[in-house]
Amino acid sequence: MPDVANHPTLTAWAPRMLSVLRIMAGLLFLAHGTQKILGSPPMAGGAPLPDAMTLSWVAGVLELVLGALITLGLLTRPAAFIAAGEMAAAYFIGHAPRNFFPTLNGGDAAILYCFVFLYLSVAGAGPWSLDALRGRRAA
């Protein structure tokens, strides 16, 4: 049986897939920020935008800025670390009090975001990023 886990093509694509994971997670995170701050797409049920300087508004600003940085792969490690912290806080403040189980409290996405961003804060942005481009120029 062939050793699929160490296949050269898969191994060569691993860094690129790190970039794809970062870009998709960043875009989805950015969408949460644009919804809270810019009203696009509209909030579910026509809910109003959060008032400025509320916890939900601050979360939206963080999601907008950090989502853009993560998507572009710019300052990825610190941006992802802060985003992971925001998602941990969102889980414990907004979801955990509702129910112990993440599938019942609606917090499964917050947990997943938290750990994806924690991984990105350690792994970096990957080759398709502004961080990688800046690194090549500096060398």
DSSP conformation letters of 68-94: HHHHHTSSHHHHHHHHHHHHHHHIIII
Position 24 pLDDT exceeds 70: yes
Per-residue pLDDT at 35? 96
As to burial, measured by CB atoms within 10 angstroms (0-12 exposed, 13-18 middle, 19+ buried), residue 89 is middle
Average of per-residue pLDDT values in the chain: 95
Tokens 């990023």 label which residue?
129
Per-residue pLDDT at 91? 98
All residues at 6 or more sequence positions from 68 whose CB lies less than 8 Å from its CB, including other chains = 26, 30
Please state the rounded mean pLDDT for residues 40-49.
90
79 band by pLDDT with thresholds 50, 70 and 90: very high
- Which range is least confidently modeled, 5-14, 45-54, 75-84, 118-127? 5-14
136 band by pLDDT with thresholds 50, 70 and 90: confident
Q: Using CA atoms in the order 113, 118, 121, 124, what is the torsion angle rounded to 10 degrees? A: -70
Please state the rounded mean pLDDT for residues 52-65.
97
Position 109 pLDDT exceeds 90: yes
